[in-house]
Structure 1
Amino acid sequence: MKILFVHQNFPGQFRYLAGALAKRGHDCLALTRFDNAQKTAIRLARYKYEKTPVQGFGSSYSDHAGRGGAAAAAAFGLRDRHGYSPDVIFGHSGWGETLFLREVWPEARLLNYAEFLYRTEGLDTNFDPEFGMLNNAQRLNTVARQAHLVHGLVLADASLSPTRWQADSFPPILRQQITVIHDGVDTDMIRPNPEARFDLPDGRVLRPGDEVLTFVNRNLEPYRGFHVFMRALPEVLKARPKAQVVLIGGEDRGYGRMPVDGKTWKQVMLDEVGDRLDLGRVHFVGRVPYPRFMALIQVSRVHAYLSYPFVLSWSMLEAMAMGAHVIGSATGPVQEVITHGHNGELVDFFDVAGWSAAIIEGLADPATKDHLRAAARQTVVDRYDLKRVCLPRLIEFVETAGA
């Protein structure tokens, strides 16, 4: 079949699937934004979209429909100038790119990656009272952000979400159209490594068995509990004088808003708790290449993962696959994977003292957590393994769903 993937940051969630389908003999092409610099072996077609500022409650849909129009214009070019006609289109609906592709290729099966649906209550919005609750206009804006996501799902022949919790963010009438299959974790490659080493910027080397606490996210921000983690650190460092703390993550805007004073969240939290930290033992290493991320988790004694009720990070499952002792926030996306006392530990997201206590205990007596590490890896092997669990189901979904 001819399969067209659509993703503004391709390969994104299709990083394993597209290659696997190509190996099965399918002709795979990806439509992505013009400045996407991600590396991939899949052929690319590109669209260019320049956002036009729009005010009011329709601004979100206007932006996403504009991107969808740009993607459709590129698609018309593929069809009319090159004779391209896919059998299957599989696109992420998050940026509106798939909204008009049915008009370009009405005979193609349209599959939709339905990652998450915003709500005014019960999910990430209004979760953290520290940053204020939504006013009336913000509530309406949140509802307005649903439009392109619902539109994309309604148009599709079939939809897919990576976790049950994320699929359940959609209302029941739409939820019944969604199949749950995770993107997959390559547990053959992502595994414990007793020979791992992580070089700190100051030249010190961390190895398995060292007292290492880790925190990883794309960006250091409240959505992923950075503020709570930082507030837990003073007590941790006081109780564990040999502990080294390593944080991976950028300082750009992430899923939530930036501080109002122009600072980064790292600066804000260092201003708040920095004078109570031994900063010689707290290492901010920014964003790192993937092998460096793996090495850090492989030397970690305790890995803290916090998240608002929002999209689950790949990094948590990958940490579990590497046999990490994961202490996670007791929020919906994390609780779908971690059962307290079985394959990790859970702490209330906002309980700073609870986080300090759990981390101190994990650092102090790691042997008592070995069963959690083993069960964490087994959970990923059994439920999220790329080659043996997820890829076969994903391939079947693309080849047959909505036919």
Structure 2
Amino acid sequence: MKILFVHQNFPGQFPHLAPALSARGHQVLALTDAENTRPSPVRVVKYASPAAVPGGHPLGRAYCDMAQRGWQAARAARALRDRHGYRPDVILGHSGWGETLFLREIWPDARLLVYAELMYRTRGQDVGFDPEVVPDTDQARIRTVARSAHLIQGLVQADAGLTPTRYQADSFPPELRAKLTVIHDGIDTARVRPDPAATLTLPGGKMLRAGDEVLSYVSRSLEPYRGFHTLMRALPRVLAARPRAQVVLVGAEGTSYGAKPRDAESWKQKLLAELGDRLPLDRVHFLGRVAYADYLSLLQLTRVHCYLTYPFVLSWSLTEAMAAGCQIVASDTEPVRELIRDGEQGRLVPFHDREALEAALICALSGDPAAARLGAAARQAILDGYDLHRHSLPRQIAWVESFG
């Protein structure tokens, strides 16, 4: 088959699937944003980066921006068709940025598949979950409805959709859910595995080793959607109780999912100012974004990994921490409960209960007698259902090829 992947940040969720399909003899091509410089495992063509749409009502701005990106992707698709005679049999694109919106008009005979990551909802998700950040107001709910339009349109137009977890599939309305197949992106458990010899050298020269009293936290950005503010407010008590503990935080200072605070340039700056001298900064290490090898070493050496999230998209960092055999303290929120049962694969605490989080982290750092059992069970859960080569990739390949 001729298979076209579409993703503004390709390979995105497809770093294994695209080359695997190519290796099976399919002609694989990817369409991506002109500003995307990430290495690609397959041949790539690019569309012009969309310009921001000026003016208009704020409620329509999100759809206009997504439609503009869709238009640019469609223009590039039309050039592929008219100048080069390219006609894919299957198109698989991420629907989150609007790139697939108009591809049906360029190639009406192609099977259109979408990676349907999440549907925004007005209840039971981020709106109102954390009143400090996303209040439960009519305005917030109306804004959420407005920014869902392109996601609904993308799935309505598609022949089928792929989503990584049951929680994320269930975020879509029932009348569209039947189009979705749940297959996780997959974890390479041969690479992401426990390593008792792991080390990590911090920017100041201090070396951390497996066995050290290390608390790790990883997020694309240091923001409330991933519980950064909750963890930071717990740290003074945790570090006072564990004077030898070191905290290592990985993530950019900006935001990926929410807004920056109204009274500071970033959530990191806001929390540092709020906590002041109660936080021993010589034992709290902000690494920003790091190379994958360093990130993996951190997971392999940490004594406890903290993962907190709103009811939202599940992070790869949780599944990779589980595959690395980490002892995990996580938020008792719906996407986490799909992988972890309290006391079986990790410890779960209510997202907003700072005292419970403090107690769980102190217990884990001090040497939870169940740590080895919990870490082994966490890894086994990934081996049993989320392993890239045993489960996810074979199922993804079969799913795509079923539309040939």
TM-score scaled by structure 1? 0.98
| CA distance in structure 2 between the aligned counterparts of 1:24 and 1:197, rounded to whole angstroms | 38
| CA distance in structure 2 between the aligned counterparts of 1:383 and 1:63, rounded to whole angstroms | 37
Q: Does 1:97 align with 2:99?
A: yes
- What aligned pairs does 1:350-369 form with structure 2 within 5 A after superposition? 350-369=352-371
Match of 1:222 in 2: 224
Give 3-state SS (helix, strand or coil) of 1:318's partner. Answer: helix
Match of 1:160 in 2: 162
Match of 1:349 in 2: 351
Give 3-state SS (helix, strand or coil) of 1:342's partner. Answer: coil
Deviations along 1:17-48, one digit per CA (max 9) or x if unpaired, are 11111111111111111100111121111111
Match of 1:310 in 2: 312
| CA distance in structure 2 between the aligned counterparts of 1:212 and 1:261, rounded to whole angstroms | 31
Q: Displacement of 1:369 after TM fit?
A: 1.1
| CA distance in structure 2 between the aligned counterparts of 1:111 and 1:241, rounded to whole angstroms | 52
For structure 1, which runs of at least 5 residues remain unmatched after alignment? Answer: none
Match of 1:400 in 2: 402
Match of 1:264 in 2: 266
**Partners of 1:211 and 1:243 within 8 A in 2:** yes
Match of 1:52 in 2: 53
Q: 1:78 aligns with which of 63, 80, 99?
A: 80
Q: Does 1:373 align with 2:375?
A: yes
Q: Displacement of 1:211 after TM fit?
A: 0.4
Q: Displacement of 1:366 after TM fit?
A: 4.0
| CA distance in structure 2 between the aligned counterparts of 1:341 and 1:106, rounded to whole angstroms | 51
Give 3-state SS (helix, strand or coil) of 1:202's partner. Answer: coil
| Aligned residue identity for 1:20 | A
Match of 2:37 in 1: 37
The number of residue pairs the alignment matches comes to: 402
| Aligned residue identity for 1:14 | F
| Aligned residue identity for 2:42 | I
Match of 1:245 in 2: 247
Deviations along 1:134-189, one digit per CA (max 9) or x if unpaired, are 43333222101111101000111111110000000001111111100001000011
Q: State the identity %.
A: 58
Query: Runs in 1 of length 4+ with deviation above 4 angstroms?
Result: none
Match of 1:212 in 2: 214
| Aligned residue identity for 1:260 | R
| CA distance in structure 2 between the aligned counterparts of 1:262 and 1:342, rounded to whole angstroms | 39
Q: 1:326 aligns with which of 325, 328, 344?
A: 328
Alignment RMSD, CA only? Answer: 1.1
| CA distance in structure 2 between the aligned counterparts of 1:110 and 1:283, rounded to whole angstroms | 45
| Aligned residue identity for 2:194 | P
**Partners of 1:19 and 1:42 within 8 A in 2:** yes
Answer with 49-58 or 350-359: which moved more.
49-58
Deviations along 1:182-221, one digit per CA (max 9) or x if unpaired, are 0100001110111110101221111111100000001000
Q: Displacement of 1:282 after TM fit?
A: 0.6
**Partners of 1:301 and 1:366 within 8 A in 2:** no
| Aligned residue identity for 1:2 | K
| CA distance in structure 2 between the aligned counterparts of 1:63 and 1:202, rounded to whole angstroms | 42
Match of 2:342 in 1: 340
**Partners of 1:54 and 1:62 within 8 A in 2:** no
| Aligned residue identity for 1:219 | S
| Aligned residue identity for 1:21 | L
Give 3-state SS (helix, strand or coil) of 1:378's partner. Answer: helix
Give 3-state SS (helix, strand or coil) of 1:237's partner. Answer: helix
| CA distance in structure 1 between the aligned counterparts of 2:124 and 2:14, rounded to whole angstroms | 29
Give 3-state SS (helix, strand or coil) of 1:131's partner. Answer: coil
| CA distance in structure 2 between the aligned counterparts of 1:205 and 1:234, rounded to whole angstroms | 23
| Aligned residue identity for 2:19 | G
Q: Displacement of 1:9 after TM fit?
A: 0.5
| CA distance in structure 2 between the aligned counterparts of 1:138 and 1:369, rounded to whole angstroms | 41
| CA distance in structure 2 between the aligned counterparts of 1:166 and 1:77, rounded to whole angstroms | 34
Answer with 18-27 or 48-57: which moved more.
48-57
| Aligned residue identity for 1:53 | P
- What aligned pairs does 1:147-186 form with structure 2 within 5 A after superposition? 147-186=149-188
Q: Does 1:16 align with 2:6?
A: no
Match of 1:28 in 2: 28
Match of 1:385 in 2: 387
**Partners of 1:18 and 1:28 within 8 A in 2:** yes
| Aligned residue identity for 1:220 | L
| CA distance in structure 2 between the aligned counterparts of 1:332 and 1:190, rounded to whole angstroms | 25
| CA distance in structure 2 between the aligned counterparts of 1:138 and 1:389, rounded to whole angstroms | 39
| CA distance in structure 1 between the aligned counterparts of 2:134 and 2:113, rounded to whole angstroms | 37
Q: Does 1:69 align with 2:71?
A: yes
**Partners of 1:330 and 1:347 within 8 A in 2:** yes
Q: Displacement of 1:119 after TM fit?
A: 1.2
| CA distance in structure 2 between the aligned counterparts of 1:14 and 1:272, rounded to whole angstroms | 40
Give 3-state SS (helix, strand or coil) of 1:247's partner. Answer: strand
| CA distance in structure 2 between the aligned counterparts of 1:368 and 1:138, rounded to whole angstroms | 42
| Aligned residue identity for 2:23 | K
Deviations along 1:83-103, one digit per CA (max 9) or x if unpaired, are 111110000000110011011
| CA distance in structure 2 between the aligned counterparts of 1:137 and 1:337, rounded to whole angstroms | 33
**Partners of 2:128 and 2:137 within 8 A in 1:** no
| Aligned residue identity for 1:29 | L
Q: Does 1:203 align with 2:205?
A: yes
Match of 1:127 in 2: 129
Q: Does 1:5 align with 2:8?
A: no
